[in-house]
Structures are given as C-alpha cells and as structure tokens.
Structure 1
Amino acid sequence: MMSGNITCTGSLPVGILFDGKLHQDVELGLATVGDEIAVIEDGVSDAGVPIAVLARTLTKIGDIPAESITYQLLCDNLVSEDYAYLRTLRDEVKKKLKSMSSALPNTGTQSSGSDDTASQKSKSDAPAL
C-alpha cells in the first residue's frame, strides 16, 4: 500500500461526513508507482487515478475505519478545498522523504564499480597493433 512509515498529518479544511459525523484529522502516506499501477489495474479511469491513489495512501480520516477509506468514499464526499489540501499534504510527505535521504551519511564511495569495469575492459579489449 505505501512505502515504509513516512507519513504527514493534518486537518481537512472542510472534512468528510461519515456516519453522521464530520471527520477532519488525516494522515497521509507516501504514494508509490505501485499504488498508481494498482488503481489502474482496478479499472479506475485516468481522471480518477489521483483520487484512487489518495484513497490508497490515506491511513486515517478521523474515526473512519481504514477499510471504509475508499475511492468511492472520496469521490462522493471529498470537496475541492479538501482535495487541494491533500495534494499539499502529499507534497509534504515527499519533502519529508527527501529530507530523510539528505540526512543519511554519505560514505563517499560509488554504488557501482562501473568506472573500474570500464578501465579494465578498455585494457583487455584493446586491439593489438
């Protein structure tokens, strides 16, 4: 569903009415390409993909049970102000991931030995003149 435990929390400006109660507190996780693929495989139209991905990455909307946070719930109850807020919150989740990666120690070593391989290859593959 989502990558790791990277989430951001906030409060919807309007909220979602569910079981006679307005729910505003949200927690949103990091969306992945896998989330996008899954919603397309579920038959969601191109226009609905962003909402369906939100449904997959929203880990909390007030007291709404997690299994009730669906594409259909958002389509039927999410107002434009709240959708705009969730897009902003989605960007905050991405920033959180970036800040975590920049805080990782840099060992100064390359992750691949492509330079070594290239120099060895050029020596061994050099034509004899």
Structure 2
Amino acid sequence: MMSGNITCTGSLPIGIVFDGKLHQEVELGLATVGDEIAVIEEGVSDAGVPIAVLARTLLKIGDIPAKNITYQLLCDNLVSEDYAYLRTLRDEVKKKLKSTSSALLSTGSPSSDSDNTVSQKSKSDAPAL
C-alpha cells in the first residue's frame, strides 16, 4: 500500500462530520501504483480513482476508525476545500520522500550489494562492449 513510513499530517480547513463530531486532523501516507491498480480492480470509475486512492492513503481523519475511512465516506462528506488541501498534503508527502531519497544518495553509501557491484563494474579497466 504505502512506501515506507513516510507521512504528513495536517488539519482540514472544513472537516468531516462523523458520528456527530467534526474531524479535521489528518495523516496521509504515500500513494503507490499498487493503490491505483487496487481501486481500478475494485471497479471504481475513472472519475473516482483519485478519491479512492486518497481513501486508501488517509491513515487518520480525527477519531474516525480507519476501517470507516472509505471512498464512499469521502464522496459523501469531503468538501472541495478539504479535497484541495489533501492534494497539497499529498504533494508534501512526495516532497518528503524525494528529500529522504536525496539525503540517502548524498551519503555515498550504497544501499545494497548490487549497488556496490555496479560501481565496481563501472571502474573496471575492461574495454566497453
């Protein structure tokens, strides 16, 4: 579902009413292609895919139980201002991943043995094919 534990938190401008209470605090994780495939396989229309993916990556909306954070809940209760905010938060999650990736790359340490092998091969004196 999500890549690693990269999330962003924030507060919806309007909020969602659930069980008679307004919920505004959110935590959003990183959406993956797997999330998109899953919602398409669930039969969500093309127009609804972004909302369904959002529902899969919303880890928290106030005190709403995670099992209740669904495509239908968002379709029925999410106002446009909150949707715009969540799209901005989604972009922040991506930026966070990018900066984390950049920090890992700048350490100069290979992340796996295969990375090390590639760098050794590129330093070889053998002629290029």
Which TM-score applies when normalising by structure 1? 0.85
Deviations 1:47-79 (A, max 9, x none): 000000000000000000000000000000000
Matching residue's letter, 1:26: V
Q: 2:91 and 2:127 mapped to 1: Cα distance?
A: 42
Say how many residue pairs are matched: 120
The 3 A distance-change label for structure 1 pair 19 and 111 is: farther
Letter of the 2:108 counterpart = N
Query: 1-side partners of 2:102 and 2:55: how far apart?
Result: 29
1:3 Cα deviation from its structure 2 partner: 1.5
Alpha-carbon distance in structure 2 between the residues aligned to 1:38 and 1:44 = 9
Instruction: Give the secondary structure class of the aligned counterpart of 1:3.
Output: coil
Alpha-carbon RMSD: 2.0
Q: Return the alpha-carbon distance in structure 2 between the equivalents of residues 32 and 42 of structure 1.
A: 16
- Superposition pairs of residues 81-120 of structure 1, within 5 angstroms: 81-104=81-104, 105-107=107-109, 112=118, 113=121, 119=127
Tell me the equivalent position of 1:76. Answer: 76
C-alpha distance in 2, partners of 1:55/1:12?
14
1:38 counterpart residue number: 38
| d(CA) in 1 for partners of 2:99, 2:77 | 33
Indicate how the Cα distance of structure 1 residues 39 and 119 shifts in structure 2: closer, same or farther if over 3 A, else same.
farther
What is the CA–CA distance in structure 2 between the aligned matches of 1:20 and 1:107, rounded to whole Å? 52
Q: Could you tell me the TM-score, scaled by structure 2's length?
A: 0.85
Greater gyration radius: 1
Residue by residue over 1:62-104, the C-alpha shift from the partner in whole angstroms, topping out at 9 and shown as x without a partner, is 0000000000000000000000000000000000000001111
CA 1:119–1:44: 2 relative to 1, 3 Å: farther
**Map of 1:10 onto structure 2:** 10
Unaligned runs of 5+ in 1: 123-129
Aligned identity (percent) is: 82
